[in-house]
Amino acid sequence: MISDDLDLRKLTADLKARLGPGEPVGYLRGKSLMRDLLLDMRENRFSELEAEELVDTLESRGFVRFLGDPAERSVADAPWDISPHA
């Protein structure tokens, strides 16, 4: 379960700072990369499942947004927009 006191804006800014230029790319690869970085950043503060849920939460609240269509193969390798100002 994601704690209510978790600052999603700061977490998104920290995540963006840890990503390389042009990362992440691809819907599933991007979500996996962000999950893994969150696990790394939080030093096992939450489980892999919780990190996945956190990426989903960031996506649903507009902090991270996939710029393609994961259902369309031609745009499945699009980048993500990561904005702590959502």
Structure tokens at 74: 């031609």
pLDDT score for 86: 61
| 4 φ/ψ angles, rounded to the nearest 5 degrees | -70, -20
Predicted TM-score of the model (pTM): 0.86
User: pLDDT tens for residues 1-48?
Assistant: 566 778 999 999 999 999 988 889 999 999 999 999 999 887 767 789
User: pLDDT tens for residues 52-62?
Assistant: 999 999 999 99
